[in-house]
Every structure is written in structure tokens, then in C-alpha cells.
Chain A
Amino acid sequence: MAGLASTLGAGAMTNSIREIEDVPVIFVIGSNTTESHPVVSYFMKRAVKKGSRLIVADPRRIDLTRWATRHFQHRVGSDIAFLNAVMNEIIRNGWHDRDFIEKHTEGFEQLRETVSRYTPEYAGEICGLRADEIRELARILGTAEKVGLFYTLGITEHITGTDNVRSCANLQILLGNIGKASAGVNPLRGQNNVQGACDMGVLPDVYTGYQKAAFPDVRRKFEAAWGIEKLPDGEGTKIPAMFDGIHHGDVRALYLIGENVVMSEPNQAHTVSALKKVDLLIVQDIFMNETAEHAHVILPAACFAETEGTFTNTERRVQRVRKAVEPPGLARDDWWITAELARRMGYDMGYTSAEQIWEEIRSVTPSMSGIAYRRIDHKGLQWPCTDEQHSGTCYLYCDNVFPCGKATFRPAEWKPPAEVPDEEYPFVLTTGRRLWQYHTGTQTRKSGGFNDICPEEMIEVNPDDARGLDIRDGDYVFVFSRRGRLKVKAWVTDRVTPGLCFMTFHFSEACANVVTNNAFDPIAGTAEYKACAIRLERA
């Protein structure tokens, strides 16, 4: 989000899902689309059937490559060098959009200078690609009528995550693929309401619609709307700093809503010791889970099928959520629980329905003020939607007006992941999802059939590596990193290249986050889930 906010202005998909079918060249980097966003992959594959070219850049031979025109298997954590070299080639051949750059962008000279150092030969060494492969990609992207770029956590979950995102944006700005249909920079959001949680200002530096908490007039507006004398200034702490804060004694109370942090945060031991130390751990969730076991108080919540409200999808579309069944036992809506806490602490929010809350949200959020429940009864609306006559925005920046005036190139230098393989830990472990399970498994592992298809975790190991370690398909192996060890079944497969392994965090019995590295992007605070060094041993 920080990466897109600093280049284009809004931390969201620039374009819409339905436009994918008409993208002439689809460039997917760091997204295992068929498994993590299957429905988006249908659009991509239909586009291929209609004649589009699909270019996949991913260290693993993911299923999407079955439909790909070309697959570039660059090394984990080499994205910036890779994209810089591609941009270098594009500029060298004059394939960049000079007119667009001149009229609507800033910082081109700095970009040109930075990327000029990344020759295909130099970057190829870093990426594990041949120089002519990088030239080929530059030609495909540079000579295309339009390119739509899609990425997911393969780009963001690195210590250089923000710079990775900026590099994606730089490429698309360079090619003028912004502000038009079937193009753009498109992060695919991994959870139903990640976009919405960001949009609602559940972030340490912004209120709803990314209104900055640092701006006094923003705070004054919310002070007036909420009847509060003084709202806090200064930036709050991000999740990693929260756990560090507990360890340092600065943080005494942690209020968690629906976050199974034991499973989802990197370096599990670090997380668990923090939860054991904190004076007050409030867990509001739908299930007892690995995190809730440490709680002082557990507040049972209603789930999606038991509540009214809205989710905002990855393409900025606000859509209705409706109550279909009664919650179990005494479980209540998340908002009811939080508002009750507020009331007992002396502040009565006075809410009686989700719609009443939404009305307040849109009254304080200009980019959503046109979105009313009755307008999204059948079909959701995409923000910005500034008044009730506005039909929503399917792609951003259509008039080449950017929130910060002009689109800004933010050149980035490549640097390696925080932890790279060495003699002691010779393999790179990267992580992600499988089609058949979801996140920490709290939903799919409690739904029938999924455990029959995908009953346990498997670590993907290349056949060459497996042979060297005397590991056969289906054998159990120990995985060691500097932070922990676990036992898991091996899946010997050429989906991964030699030297690379892959795991998920779906199974508590063998959760990748026991071994992942709690190194963070300094700007976004996102952990480097996608790269750490491990050692394997046959169990």
C-alpha cells in the first residue's frame, strides 16, 4: 500500500477484474493466481483463450504457467533487479511512453539513472536468468499495446516489499499503462476484507479513506464527528512493533479481533512469548485457536453468515454482507462487542444497526460518500464514489489526475533478502497458500471434504535436492532455521527449482511460521515471509 500510495496515490487495484479479459498482455509477478485467487485466474485464462498473452514471473512452476505464453523463473527476492533490468532495456530501445511521461509523471531522470546500472547481464546473475530472457520480457512488455500487471504477496512479503511494489508501479508508469481500461497496477488482495480494513483506517497513520492522522484538519473533522475533545496525534505502532513493545514492557494490553497471530506472524516463538507476557490479551474470534489459548478474555463473535454489513473487494467494490443464519450461543456482531466495550469505558457510540454505522462512515469519507446500502443491494459500487449520482470508478486516474498531482517514479535499488542461504542453512524457503486450504486453517479445516483432499502440510523439494539428501516423495523431513524446527512430509516436485523449498501456514502441526524470519520492510512493516534460509534432514 505504501508503495502504491507513494507512486500513484491510492493503495488499491487501479483496474477492475472484469477488464482482465481484454488485457492484451497480462503480466503476473509473485501471484499464484490459480490457487490464491482462482476466480481471477478464470478471467486470465479466458483472456488467453481469446488471444491475450500471459506472462508469468514466479520462482515456482505454479499451475498458472500451464496457460502462460512465457514463464520467467527468477530467484526469490530478485524482483527489483529483474524489473530494473527490464525497464533499462525498455528505455534503451525507446519503448517507453514519452508523451505520458512528459505530461503526467515526475522523476523519470532518476529512474533512468538508477535502472541504467541494471544491465540484463548484471541482473541476470542476480535473478538466475539469462540476459536474453530479460531482453525478451522487455520486448514483450515494451512493444505491447497495453500491459496489465498483477501481483500479490510474492512482491510485498519481502524486506524490500515497498520497493518491490514501487518497481511494479515504475514499470507501468514508464509504459503509460495507467489511467486506461485493461491495464494498470493490480495487487490482488488475499482476504475478503483486507481492502476494507485498510479503507476503514485500521492502520496506525490514517483514518477512513486514507485521511492522514498527522493532518490537524483531519483530526479536527473526526473530533467534531465523534464528539471527542482531542484525538491522538503522532503515528501509532504497527503489528511487529506491538510484539516488540510487549517484550520491552511498553505495551501492556493487546486487543485482537479475528487474528490468529500465533500462526500468521513470522517467528512463532517470538509471538508466543509476547502473548504469554502481556498483561491483558483480549481475543475476539469465532473459534478457539492457537492464539486464543493465551487470552485473558475471549469474546465470541458472529461470522460472515450471521451478520449484516459490507466487505470491500480487491477492486475497491463495496458489497453487501447479509445475515443468513443465527450465530451460535451468545456470539454477537463484532461491532456490537466493541461498541459495548466503549460504552462501559464511558463512551456510548449508540449504534443499533450496521447500516447506521455505514451512514456515519460515508459521512466522514468523501471517497465513499455516494455509496448507500440501497444502491448496492444487487451490485456493489467501486470507490471513489463521491455522491449518489456517481456510478463508481472501474479504473483509477482516467483523466491522468493523480492524488499527488503527477505519477511519481520511485526508483529502487535491489538488495538481497535479510537471510540468504549459507553452508549451515543451504536452502531458501518461500511460503504461500494451497488451493485446498486457507490461511491458518480455522475455516477450511473445519469444513467437510477439504481435509480429505489436503490432509497435511507438505514441503516442496526439488528432485535433485531430494536425491542429494536421500529424501523420497512422501518421506518426513525435519526443517531447521535459526528460529525453530518442524517436521513435515516432503513433496518431491519440480514445481520448485533446485535450492528452493515451499511451505504454507495452513497447518498448526507443521506451520511454516515456526521457521520464517521476522525481518520487516522498514516502511510497510511487512514481514519477509517469502524468503528465509533452512536446512533439511530426513526424519
Chain B
Amino acid sequence: MDGRHIQTVDGNTVLNVARQNRIYIPTLCYHPKTRQAGKCRMCVVEVERMPGLQTACSLAAREGMVIHTSTQRVVETRKMIVELLLANGKHNCIACEANGACELQEVAYRLGIEKPSFPIAERDMPVDTSCPMIIRDMNKCIHCYRCVNGCNNIVVNEVLEMGYRGSRMTVVCDTDKPMGESSCVVCGECVQLCPTGALVEKKAMGKGREWDTNQTRTTCPYCGVGCQIRLHVRDNEIIKVTGEENVEPNFGTLCVKGRFGYDFVHSPHRLRKPLLRKNGRLEEVSWDAALDFTAEKLLEIKKTSGPGSIVGIGCARSTNESNYVMMKFMRAVVGTNNVDHCART
């Protein structure tokens, strides 16, 4: 490949071989999870003794293959594909949520396409805002099939499908219903797989681009699956959540709660200060006042009624470390085994 002798295992695709050897082949429809779709043709390469150009994502590497990944013919073909995609939709990066994370923008940049050379097609499909969590702008869709593949083969919710034919071809929900009225369960896998700004998180709109955010790997706070998530943070605010690809247990997939149920963290109803009941009313106090009151009262009850009169319920949402400290507190400090939590089953 490109003059290098490379060994690989039988059946590996040319694309994989290139990526494993840090040779750049652009892709739009290919995603490690949905694999080759054979739609975009961005990954074309020249192979000696094979006719025409070959798509690297679907071509199995074979003994003795001689592959060129960046000949003039290859580059010009790729440029033409990007030019046509740019001409076929509303790809204006300025206000696009995907700016900086868009794979179409990335390949245009790598190919040096500053300004589309073809006239932009009149394409003005209504933006689907019917879902409370996801915005679908099919004017930015490049028909890569990743969302369709993800919906049907990864999360198997079987909502998205390609509808219509020819220039009218577009992704539809169920029988072309608005997403918010369809059987969609809003897992957001389609958003995570979308290479452009055609599918974006509604609640993140205008809150910051990829380069504005710090990302923190953590574990989802909802059910017991323990999905690995990434919190995208700007100015101390979580603006969106994505699933962490390629790692157990979830391999990038999430559900509606894990992906979109994060803004409770910033709710104005969060408790901000310790509260102590005085004359029947809860009043804001300092940590010292709250903790001293509690400690003294616990000591008094322990002394007069014994440690067994004190009980503690731990938290199945809090960390192992906090639960351990709670358990230790009840046993070592209060002196009782009266410690439990909600899920003994």
C-alpha cells in the first residue's frame, strides 16, 4: 500500500489495513459499528490489475495486492463526490451544530474544497422538530445509511428506513411520520452515528461546538447497565451526553434517559445549602451548624436509647466509596448493623 509492504490477516478489508497502518482514507458512510454500507464511495483506491476504482471499505485485502490510496485519479474522484454532496444539500457550516465535528466538513477540508463549485440544488425540506430531544434536518443528509443501519441493526428499534426514490430519497420514521409521532424511543443512536448536522441534539442547540467543550468520561446515573458516557461540558454546564464507543458494556449505545436525562444536574431545585428545622421551618444554615446539630443529636440518642435506636438507609445511586463510608459510619461510629438500602432483592 502506497509503496509499503504490509502484512495482515486474511479477510481484513483494505480500509482496515490502511487505518491500522495510519494511512488516511476518508469515509462518510463507513462507521466501525455499522461497517461498510457501500454508499458514499469516498474511500475509493486504485488497485493494480483491478479495473476502475475500488471501495476500500468493502474490498478484502489479498496476498500481493498493490494499492494506491492517493493518486491524482483517486483524489479527483473524491473531490467530485464531495462537490456533488455539497451541491445536493444545505451545507452551511456557520450556524451548524455539527461544525467542528462534521465528517463532511472534515473531508472537504482535507481535500481543500473551500467553496463548492457547482450550483447548490434547491432543496428545502421542512426541518422535523417534533421530537423533544432530536432535530432532523434532512437537507443536510448525505444518505450514508448509518442512522438507518444503527436503528435497525445496532439498537434494533426498527424505526428509521430510507423512503422515496431518486432525488426525493430521504430517511423516514415509520411510514414517514414526524419523529415525535413515530414509534421512535429516542435512544439517539442515529444522532451519534450521523456524520453531518442532519441529526442533532435539540437541547444542545446553540450551547457550544465540539471545540468549546471539555469532555469527561464517566458512568451513566440511571439503570444498572452502567453505560459508559461522555459528558460534554462548557462553562460548568453539561450541554450534551454521548455514548463511549468501543468499550463494554454499551459499546456507544445509550437510551433516552442516559443520553438526554442530564439537565437535572443543573436544575434550580437542587439543594445548595444545608437546612435545619427551627421552629417548625427549614432554614439555611452553615455546614458547621448542620453537622454539629446532627452529630450532637445522634450522640444523645445513642446515649439515651442505645445504638440500635439509630437506623441508616444508604443510596443505590451514590458511589461505592460513599456507600462504604456510610456502612462504616453506621457500624463503627454509631455501633449498629441497622444499615440497609432499597434493593436487597
A48 to B225, CA, bound (A): 20
Q: What is the distance, in angstroms, from A290's C-beta to the closest C-beta of chain B?
A: 13
Q: Other than the known A39-B250, A254-B313, A298-B271, what 17 A-B pairs have Cβ atoms closer than 8 Å?
A: A196-B319, A202-B327, A231-B331, A232-B335, A232-B336, A232-B337, A257-B313, A259-B342, A297-B275, A297-B276, A325-B231, A342-B329, A345-B299, A446-B263, A446-B269, A449-B132, A450-B261
Determine whether B7 belongs to the interface, using a CB cutoff of 8 Å to chain A: no
Determine whether B108 belongs to the interface, using a CB cutoff of 8 Å to chain A: no
Q: What is the distance, in angstroms, from A169's C-beta to the closest C-beta of chain B?
A: 14
Contact (Cβ within 8 A) B322 A257: yes
Determine whether A256 belongs to the interface, using a CB cutoff of 8 Å to chain B: yes
Contact (Cβ within 8 A) A199 B320: yes
Contact (Cβ within 8 A) B226 A42: no
Interface string of A244-257 (1 = CB under 8 A from B): 01000011111111
Determine whether A502 belongs to the interface, using a CB cutoff of 8 Å to chain B: no
Please indicate the chain A residues that have their CB under 8 angstroms from the CB of B297 in the complex.
253, 280, 296
Please indicate the chain B residues that have their CB under 8 angstroms from the CB of A340 in the complex.
287, 291
Determine whether A435 belongs to the interface, using a CB cutoff of 8 Å to chain B: yes
A444 to B320, CA, bound (A): 23
Contact (Cβ within 8 A) A296 B277: yes
Please indicate the chain B residues that have their CB under 8 angstroms from the CB of A287 in the complex.
264, 267, 269-271
Considering only CB atoms and an 8 Å cut-off, how many residues of chain A contact the other chain? 152
Determine whether A328 belongs to the interface, using a CB cutoff of 8 Å to chain B: yes
Please indicate the chain A residues that have their CB under 8 angstroms from the CB of B233 in the complex.
324-325
Contact (Cβ within 8 A) B222 A305: no
Please indicate the chain B residues that have their CB under 8 angstroms from the CB of A360 in the complex.
324
Interface string of B267-288 (1 = CB under 8 A from A): 1011111111100001000010
Contact (Cβ within 8 A) A228 B332: yes
Contact (Cβ within 8 A) B315 A258: yes
Determine whether B178 belongs to the interface, using a CB cutoff of 8 Å to chain A: no
Determine whether B74 belongs to the interface, using a CB cutoff of 8 Å to chain A: no
A95 to B299, CA, bound (A): 61
Contact (Cβ within 8 A) B333 A331: no
Contact (Cβ within 8 A) B238 A324: yes
Determine whether A306 belongs to the interface, using a CB cutoff of 8 Å to chain B: yes
Contact (Cβ within 8 A) B309 A250: yes
Please indicate the chain A residues that have their CB under 8 angstroms from the CB of B38 in the complex.
none
Interface string of A294-321 (1 = CB under 8 A from B): 0111111101111111111111011111
Q: Which of A190, A235, A261 contacts B343 (CB 8 A)?
A: A190
B-side interface mostly? mixed
Please indicate the chain A residues that have their CB under 8 angstroms from the CB of B276 in the complex.
296-298
Determine whether B339 belongs to the interface, using a CB cutoff of 8 Å to chain A: yes
Interface residues of A in 1-45 (CB under 8 A from B): 1-2, 16-18, 34, 36-40, 42, 45
Please indicate the chain B residues that have their CB under 8 angstroms from the CB of A292 in the complex.
271
Please indicate the chain A residues that have their CB under 8 angstroms from the CB of B231 in the complex.
305, 324-325
Determine whether A467 belongs to the interface, using a CB cutoff of 8 Å to chain B: no
Determine whether B341 belongs to the interface, using a CB cutoff of 8 Å to chain A: yes
Question: Can you spell out 5 A-B residue pairs with CB atoms less than 8 angstroms apart?
Answer: A34-B185, A161-B345, A202-B341, A295-B277, A300-B271
Please indicate the chain A residues that have their CB under 8 angstroms from the CB of B226 in the complex.
192, 311-315, 317, 319, 380
A280-B316 in contact given A204-B337, A436-B256 (Cβ < 8 Å) = no
Determine whether A354 belongs to the interface, using a CB cutoff of 8 Å to chain B: yes
Contact (Cβ within 8 A) A351 B325: yes
Instruction: Determine the residue in chain B with the shortest Cβ distance to A453.
Output: B132
Contact (Cβ within 8 A) B299 A255: no
Q: What is the distance, in angstroms, from B269's C-beta to the closest C-beta of chain A?
A: 6
Determine whether A465 belongs to the interface, using a CB cutoff of 8 Å to chain B: no
Most buried by A among B271, B272, B315: B271
Determine whether B120 belongs to the interface, using a CB cutoff of 8 Å to chain A: no
Instruction: Determine the residue in chain B with the shortest Cβ distance to A377.
Output: B217
Please indicate the chain A residues that have their CB under 8 angstroms from the CB of B319 in the complex.
193, 196, 304, 307-311, 321, 334-335, 354
Please indicate the chain A residues that have their CB under 8 angstroms from the CB of B247 in the complex.
378-379
A251-B311 in contact given A38-B185, A42-B253 (Cβ < 8 Å) = yes
A48 to B156, CA, bound (A): 10
Determine whether B328 belongs to the interface, using a CB cutoff of 8 Å to chain A: yes
Interface residues of A in 356-380 (CB under 8 A from B): 357-358, 360-361, 378-380
A222-B331 in contact given A189-B223, A299-B290 (Cβ < 8 Å) = yes
Determine whether A279 belongs to the interface, using a CB cutoff of 8 Å to chain B: yes
A189 to B155, CA, bound (A): 20
Determine whether B8 belongs to the interface, using a CB cutoff of 8 Å to chain A: no
Q: What is the distance, in angstroms, from A521's C-beta to the closest C-beta of chain B?
A: 8
Contact (Cβ within 8 A) A191 B317: yes
Q: What is the distance, in angstroms, from A80's C-beta to the closest C-beta of chain B?
A: 16
A444-B202 in contact given A39-B249, A239-B340, A322-B216 (Cβ < 8 Å) = no
Please indicate the chain B residues that have their CB under 8 angstroms from the CB of A324 in the complex.
214, 216, 218, 231, 233, 238
A38 to B290, CA, bound (A): 41
Determine whether A242 belongs to the interface, using a CB cutoff of 8 Å to chain B: yes
Contact (Cβ within 8 A) A202 B272: no
Q: What is the distance, in angstroms, from A435's C-beta to the closest C-beta of chain B?
A: 6
Contact (Cβ within 8 A) B318 A349: no
Interface string of A204-232 (1 = CB under 8 A from B): 11011000010000000010001010011
Contact (Cβ within 8 A) B326 A525: no
Contact (Cβ within 8 A) A299 B332: no
Determine whether A276 belongs to the interface, using a CB cutoff of 8 Å to chain B: no
